[in-house]
């Protein structure tokens, strides 16, 4: 009997890692291994290669990252270590082992000045440390192996961990009205949908050495929104399901100052992923509905056991 494909994903509690574990259950020929601290410490890049070799994966997914956009401004060294140096080290060992690597990046590598959705060939110009550290990570991955895919995604949410959708639902339990930024636009993306796509891309990489399947790809949900649009959809679904909801007070970025600047429009064109990998993620509204339903269900189960 053929052994299952071993996919190693970095991280333990991140949204994408948890979603990969869930979605992999539908694949009998796939084993997902998740590694994080203390065994795999991305702050200690000298030990990364040995840990990956011991795990002996067939494919590597670089999912763990320093994702606090604002804290990165004052913790630049940590952000660059985890988001830049560690992916470079992972790519180097993947190259040594002759296995493909899929690395997750971000829409924040762009400055948001473009009025149309960004394509992969557009010039990058991060506005903050987080985006810059992720951009350097992309470059180090590409410098250390040719068998790679960099996936730039955006505005991730899921039933797991900390994310905007979960925060809105939790906040609506105690607030009748919430102030939400309405002049930043992107593609709210389900980490569950992204995980499904990662598994498909991994299979494509293992089954073909076609160079068109490799390189940088944008992969985010169909449709775009502002943060306020996203919040209103969360509350619309929650109210329909009998859950908590709040009124949305639409404000500008100037009314909600943060340590890091955000791009005004980081919408991504995902045509390249559709063309070469045959992937088009669902509309964000559909995926928000699924996530809100699950979060309400989780909350209800928690309350009955307390």
Catalytic residues: 130
Q: What Rg value do the Cα atoms of the chain yield, rounded? A: 19
pLDDT beneath 50: ranges in the chain: 1
Residue 259: CB atoms within 10 A of its CB come to 13
Q: In the prediction, which pLDDT does 303 show?
A: 63
Q: Are 135 and 124 in contact (CB under 8 A)?
A: yes
Could you read off the pLDDT of 110-120 as tens digits, one per residue? Answer: 999 999 999 99
Which phi and psi angles does 201 have, rounded to 5°?
-65, -40
Q: Are 11 and 195 in contact (CB under 8 A)?
A: no
Q: In the prediction, which pLDDT does 300 show?
A: 74
Q: Are 104 and 62 in contact (CB under 8 A)?
A: yes
Domains of the chain: 5-162+187-224+267-283 (3.40.50.720)
Q: In the prediction, which pLDDT does 1 show?
A: 36
């Amino acid at each position: 009997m053929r052994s299952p494909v071993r996919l190693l994903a970095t991280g333990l509690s991140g949204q994408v890692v948890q979603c990969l574990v869930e979605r992999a259950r539908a694949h009998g020929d796939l084993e997902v291994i998740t590694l994080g601290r203390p065994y795999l410490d991305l702050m200690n890049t000298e030990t990364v290669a040995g840990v990956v070799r011991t795990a002996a994966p067939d494919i590597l997914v670089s999912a763990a990252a320093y994702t606090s956009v604002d804290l990165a401004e004052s913790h630049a060294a940590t952000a660059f270590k985890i988001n830049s140096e560690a992916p470079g080290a992972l790519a180097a060992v993947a190259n040594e082992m002759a296995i493909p690597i899929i690395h997750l990046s971000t829409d924040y590598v762009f400055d948001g000045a473009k009025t149309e959705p960004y394509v992969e060939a557009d010039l990058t110009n991060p506005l903050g440390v987080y985006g810059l550290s992720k951009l350097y990570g992309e470059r180090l991955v590409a410098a250390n192996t040719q068998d790679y895919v960099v996936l730039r995604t955006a505005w991730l949410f899921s039933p797991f961990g900390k994310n905007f959708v979960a925060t809105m639902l939790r906040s609506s339990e105690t607030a009748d009205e919430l102030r939400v930024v309405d002049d930043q636009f992107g593609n709210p993306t389900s980490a569950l949908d992204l995980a499904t796509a990662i598994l498909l891309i991994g299979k494509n990489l293992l089954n073909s050495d076609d160079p068109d399947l490799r390189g940088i790809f944008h992969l985010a949900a169909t449709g775009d929104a502002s943060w306020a649009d996203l919040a209103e959809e969360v509350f619309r679904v929650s109210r329909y399901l009998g859950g908590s909801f709040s009124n949305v007070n639409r404000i500008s970025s100037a009314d909600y100052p943060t340590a890091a600047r955000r791009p005004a429009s980081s919408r991504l064109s995902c045509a390249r992923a559709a063309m070469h990998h045959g992937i088009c993620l669902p509309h964000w509204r559909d995926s928000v509905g699924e996530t809100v339903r699950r979060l309400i269900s989780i909350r209800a189960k928690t309350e009955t056991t307390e």
